[in-house]
Structure 1
Amino acid sequence: MKVTRPERIFLPDNFIIDEWKNVEPYFIDLENRSIDTKEEFEKWLKDQSELESVISEDLAWRYIKMTIDTKDKELADAYAFFVKEIQPHLEPYSFRLNKKLSASPFKSEFKDEAYKIYFRGVDTAIKLFREENIPLNTELAEKSQIHGAVSGAQSIEHDGEKITMQKASSLLKENDEALRKSVFDKMAERRAEDTEKLDDLFTELIQLRHKVATNAGYDNFRDYMFDELGRFDYTKEDCFDFHQSIKDEIVPLVKQFSQKKAELMGKDKLKPWDSQVDPLGRAPLKPFKDGKELLSKTTVIFDKIDPYFGDCLRTMDSMGYLDLDSKDGKSPGGYNYPLYEIGVPFIFMNSVGSQRDLITMIHEGGHAIQSFLTRDLELTSFKSFPSEIAELASMSMEMLTMDYWDEFYDNQEDLQRAKIEQLETVLEVLPWVATIDEFQHWIYENPTHSKAERKEKWISLLDAYGTGTTDWTGYEEVRAYSWQRQLHLFEVPFYYIEYGMAQLGALAIWKNSKENFEKTIADYKKAMALGYTKSIPGVYEEANITFDFSKKNIKELAEFVGEEMTTYS
């Protein structure tokens, strides 16, 4: 498809954000503009939306370039410039514009659910805003990026070569146990060098976040973030129900196949370096050589499901909006970054040829498809949807593509292995999501805790959600600080349980696809195209599933996955 930037109505085409004085006049215009009719109010909303999309895209590119090469000081400085010199000025204006919007008599004339959701978010932003939090938010934005820089700088020596932690992790799938143990030890030793630094950083972040929350009149940062994240459709008690349901219904399933794996390997218990290896001694799955092949074959799969999906990836490739291969100095992880003005997102990842990389590509591709499906929505706020919706798009794509993975695997045994790995990973991830989420609830309910208390709490949660099938003797400290590898804790607090909720939705969509694949894809497209113009339950309903993390629902989905796993073994 051919994509061009929409014609700007409010901003000039040559608009550049290189200093605040170039940006401010447009905020002054919006703040001082008189609005005497519904039409003028609507024009004002669209002009504000255009300004938001352009500014957010500028920040996006600074972040993308910085994470591609964390060693380039100019790129880090460019991002820091925005955080220090632009962002602090945006908050007071956003607050005043929100108040102007909220006070408008014409607001009541917009009856659509989309506008009600938007206006609700504006009212919440007004409630959250405090002038004294502006410098704190600037400091938080800077400090939260330190984790990525620290992690991106981590590497180990292997066979005389310096390799990234992502590449090192892929060696944990090798059958040679001595090799796995050696690599695991080197990774643990390298991470241990940064343990104290990251522990101290996290303590600073917790203190700053608690201050932001109390400044805004909240008892704790958890309650503040529930409003900040727009969690209007569920409560903290629902999260607690999710935690318990996972312990009751999912952990026993994970324990079953973990015990089976240990038995197949002739061990009483697994070792920490055994978690990724094939129990039958087969070589690690290598579905592709490099990012180019990964993209090519993923595009073919997307074409088979729906030609529109394949076109999305081809468009991104032609525009240079993909960076897929792992390299030294690149920030860890993967993401799909929406670019609201052009309407074409950017996919960043660290592929090294593994099955996990294949899943990451499909996952981020699902996000990308949703970005395309929503690019023509009227306002930027409609395209900025909560993660419970965004992750449904990506996780569903993981499941919906499974029957097309023969594009990567011409060997039937390897194909079946890949599918079993995927289902086991889905089940394993749910307890991890619940562990991280329960950890965060405790952290911010107890913001003055000591580092020793934090360590003790984390270990107790690992025990509660664990299967007891891994022997950590001699590696207790590695386990005790395993939370430090979860970048969400540092960069995007409380954004994680959404993965678990969306995973349940994705399993329900996959279940539907087994009965009527074409209808399921049509429902998926309709739901994802809504963006945030409907409530979270409303979007799920459009996809012909329910937004439900009760014990009953999780039990039914767990049984379905268990039955499917037997067909692949």
Structure 2
Amino acid sequence: MKFKEMPYERIDSKKVKEEFEQLIEEMKAAKSGEEQYEIHKKYYALTDRIETMSTISQIRHDGNTVDAFYEAENDYYDNIIPEIQDYSSRYLRVLYESPYREYMENRIGQVAFKNIELKLKSFDEKLIPLMQEENNLVTTYEKLIASAKIPFQGEELNISLLRKYMTDKNRETRKEAWSKLSEFFAGHSEELDDIYDKLVKNRTEQAKQLGYDNYVELGYYRMNRNSYDKDMVKNFRDQVKKYLVPYVSKIHELRREGLGLSALKYYDYDMFFSEGNPAPLGTPEEILKQGKAMYSDLSPETKEFFDFMFENELFDVLGRKNKRAGGYMTYMPDYNAPFIFANFNGTSSDVDVITHECGHAFQGYVYREYEIKEYRDITMETAEIHSMSMEFFTDKYMELFFGERAEDYRRMHLQDAVIFIPYGCMVDEFQHIIYENPGLSPIERKEIWASLEKEYRPEMDYEGDLYFMGGGFWQKQQHIYSAPFYYIDYCLAQTCALQYKTKMDEDYTKAFESYLKLCKLSASDFFVNMLKEVGLNSPFEDGCIEEIVTKLNKYIF
């Protein structure tokens, strides 16, 4: 079914509560594990319906954040989702404490029960008002970013549409574009500080009410960190600082020379070629058509997937006013349908949507008919391997999108992938510091960001831009507001994707078979175990980053 034809009906929280209460009573009264499993399938159907309707509402709201109907629906879900989480938590507790747990564990897996444990550790009914407030604050931030009306060269642009000028081959044009972006955030800095201050205090209070010292432990539980902890993450970040940060500095020096500049400024940071970064050929419709040709050739599985996406119009990728910034893949379980949301802007990031977000969507399509819903409940570091690795597996098709500049794109893409990891680790360490010290003032938070930039991005030169020099850059990073502790998942996944990059150049077919196996494993096992099963090194192991850096030399230098 085409997305535009999918009917929407608001979830009635009162009826949902009644359905959950009935399931809880049935689960308590069950006389066997087999009977509990049949009841559990009713739970799947109920939560699938809730997820489908709330997701349709979210997509339509994000597509036009000033649409009055879906704005009201979005506000409604901000308030009832925590209540639904309460009903779900009560049901899961009964399942977790079941006398037939051994049978259920054999049916839905140990990972499922570990995740239930984390959910129970991260929620209590008394948190509902705070969670509702948290959702409303995140929505306030997203609306503020989406509402940007930035005057630029006779146009009025939102942030997504401004981005193509931020990588313009004319240095003065991109400097002006970055300056306009800085002006917007500086002009709203106090408001952004206030929103974040309230979020930090809110999340800290949630943690305190559950008995935790601060939000870090609660944040890890909510991110389903079911097989690693903050010490393992710190060890990974330390490896990045030791081996990757100096390596990235060398990449930047190589880029500076290639651009013919005496110094690399912040508005040059995303530039890779003096003639301009490669831009995709053709219209958005033509890019999607070329994507169809690419996935048709890549494998039978990817052909089937993209045909399904294309025929059912499961894309909203055109940039426009009042559309939420950024992009994502989401899923509507009642239709077994992934959906891709993005903002095409005429840059290479348009093609990244067809590779990165389609990597997410492909994995979603692969697991669409799994009976055990818990196997679909993938953690984010695993999900991002699916997307970031697909970027590399599709590298060989870039002539379809960039013509004669395909090799330039491949070089830019690889360098950009490596450059990203220190930045992502900086975002993660920043959040650890902030939530371990929730009483910090807005000024102190910005000072900490500026200090971390010297560790992770020592070459960054803001050339007198007071807002960015003062440590305000992080306020444009939506994940910091909306999804705390998510960003390290990108770094862990990119580390694995870079391993696939080197493996596919040794044996492409074997590497893709490993990738497809990882997609099919979904969430049936823990992250580190699945890496081992498909032949990838864990990013947490000492020596992992050092080995990757050594192997990358032949591609970059």
Q: Return the match for 1:217 from 208, 211, 214.
A: 211
Change (3 A) 1:22 1:111: closer
Contact 1:509 1:543 (8 Å CA) reproduced: no
The 2-side partners of 1:183 and 1:363 are apart by 26
Residue 10 of structure 1 is matched in structure 2 by none
1:44 aligns with 2:34: no
Which of these residues, 424, 427, 436, is aligned with residue 427 of structure 2?
436
Do structure 1's residue 472 and structure 2's residue 462 form an aligned pair? Answer: yes
Aligned to 2:448: 457
Deviates more, 1:392-401 or 1:520-529: 520-529
Q: Would you identify which runs of 4 or more consecutive aligned residues in structure 1 move more than 4 Å? A: 13-16
For 2:515, which of 516, 521, 524 is the aligned residue?
524
Q: 1:80 and 2:70 equivalent?
A: no
Partner Cα distance (1:533, 1:323) in 2: 31
Is 1:60 the equivalent of 2:55? Answer: yes
Give distance in 1, aligned partners of 2:303 and 2:142.
31
Q: Deviation of residue 485 (structure 1)?
A: 1.0
Aligned pair partner of 1:350 in 322, 343, 358: 343
Query: 2:81 & 2:417 partners in 1: Cα distance?
Result: 38
1:393 aligned partner: 386
Query: TM (normalized to structure 2)?
Result: 0.95
Residues 351/15 of structure 1: CA separation in 2 closer, same or farther (3 Å cut): closer
Matched residue, 2:545: 554
**1-structure distance, mates of 2:107, 2:155:** 56
Q: Deviations over 1:238-288 (max 9, x none)?
A: 111121111111111221121233334443322222223344x31442213
For 2:507 and 2:108, the matched residues in 1 are separated by: 30
Contact residue 49 and residue 381 of structure 1 kept, 8 A: no
Determine the structure 2 residue equivalent to 1:201: 195
Structure 1: distance between partners of 2:2 and 2:324: 29
User: In structure 2, how many angstroms separate the alpha carbons of the residues matched to 1:362 and 1:267?
Assistant: 31
Tell whether 2:297 aligns with 1:304. Answer: yes
Give the distance between the partners of 2:475 and 2:82, measured in 1 at CA: 29
Distance (whole Å) between structure 1 residues aligned to residue 452 and residue 83 of structure 2: 41
User: Alpha-carbon deviations, 1:514-536, whole Å to 9, x = none?
Assistant: 22211221221121112111111
Name 2:256's counterpart in structure 1.
262
Residue 221 of structure 1 and its aligned partner are, at CA, apart by: 0.4
Question: Which residue matches 1:7?
Answer: none
8 A contact 1:389–1:539 mirrored in 2: no
- Are 1:105 and 2:99 counterparts? yes
Tell me whether 16-25 or 211-220 shows the greater mean CA deviation.
Answer: 16-25
Distance 1:193 1:476, change over 3 A: closer
Asked whether the equivalents of residues 210 and 221 of structure 1 are also in contact (C-alpha less than 8 Å), the reply is: yes
Structure 1 residue runs without a partner (length 5+): 5-12
Tell me the amino acid that sits aligned with residue 270 of structure 2. Answer: Q
**Conserved in 1, the CA contact under 8 Å of 2:296 and 2:303?**
yes
Give how far 1:114 is off. Answer: 4.7
**Partner deviation per Cα, 1:145-184 (whole Å, 9 max, x = no partner):** 2221111111322332212222222112223222222222
Identity of aligned residues (%): 26
Distance 2:136 2:360 in 1: 26
Report the Cα distance in structure 1 between the residues aligned to 2:210 and 2:311, rounded to whole angstroms. 45
Q: Distance in 1 between matches of 2:458 and 2:556?
A: 19
Superposition RMSD in Å: 2.1
Establish whether residue 229 from structure 1 lines up as the match of residue 223 from structure 2.
yes
* Partners of 1:338 and 1:345 within 8 A in 2: yes
In the alignment, what sits opposite 2:407? 416
Q: Give the secondary structure class of the aligned counterpart of 1:105.
A: coil
Distance in 1 between residues matched to 2:496 and 2:276, nearest whole Å: 33
Q: Which residue among 467, 482, 489 is the counterpart of 1:491? A: 482
Q: CA deviation at 1:477?
A: 1.7
- Distance in 1 (CA, whole Å) between partners of 2:347 and 2:106 is 45
Please state if 1:379 is matched with 2:369: no
- CA distance, structure 2, for counterparts of residue 274 and residue 129 of structure 1: 44
2:169 to 167, 171, 175: 175
Could you say if the C-alpha distance between residues 265 and 395 of structure 1 is closer, same or farther in structure 2, counting changes exceeding 3 Å? closer
2:262 partner SS:
coil
Structure 2 gaps, min length 5: none
Change (3 A) 1:28 1:232: closer
Matched with 1:287 is: 280
C-alpha displacement of 1:15? 10
- C-alpha spacing 1:527/1:180, structure 2 compared with 1 (3 Å): closer
Provide the rounded CA distance (Å) in 2 between the counterparts of 1:542 and 1:67. 38
Alpha-carbon distance in structure 2 between the residues aligned to 1:434 and 1:166: 24
1:331 corresponds to: 324
Cα distance, 1:458–1:473 mapped onto 2, change above 3 Å:
same
Match of 2:16 in 1: 23
Bigger shift: 344-353 or 124-133?
124-133
1:96 aligns with 2:96: no
Assess, with a 3 A threshold, how the Cα gap between structure 1 residues 68 and 198 changes in structure 2: closer, same or farther: same
The letter of the residue matching 1:65 is R
Partner Cα separation in structure 1 for residue 398 and residue 127 of structure 2: 49
Q: Call closer, same or farther: CA 1:262–1:524 in 2, change over 3 Å.
A: closer
Any idea what the Cα deviations from partners look like across 1:518-556, whole Å, max 9, x if unmatched? 122122112111211111122222322122334411011
> Contact 2:185–2:475 (CA<8 Å) still a contact in 1?
no
Q: Contact conserved, 1:508 with 1:545, CA < 8 A, in 2?
A: yes
Distance 1:121 1:272 in 2: 41
Q: 1:72 to 1:123 in 2, by over 3 A?
A: same
SS in 2 for 1:219: coil
Secondary structure, counterpart of 1:337 in structure 2: strand
In structure 1, C-alpha distance between the alignment counterparts of 2:298 and 2:132, rounded to whole Å: 43
Letter in 1 for 2:309: M
Residue by residue over 1:196-250, the C-alpha shift from the partner in whole angstroms, topping out at 9 and shown as x without a partner, is 1111100000000000011111111011111222212111111111211111111
CA contact under 8 A between 2:10 and 2:73: conserved in structure 1? no
Amino acid at match of 1:380: K
Match of 1:510 in 2: 501
Alignment of 1:144-159 (within 5 A): 144-159=138-153
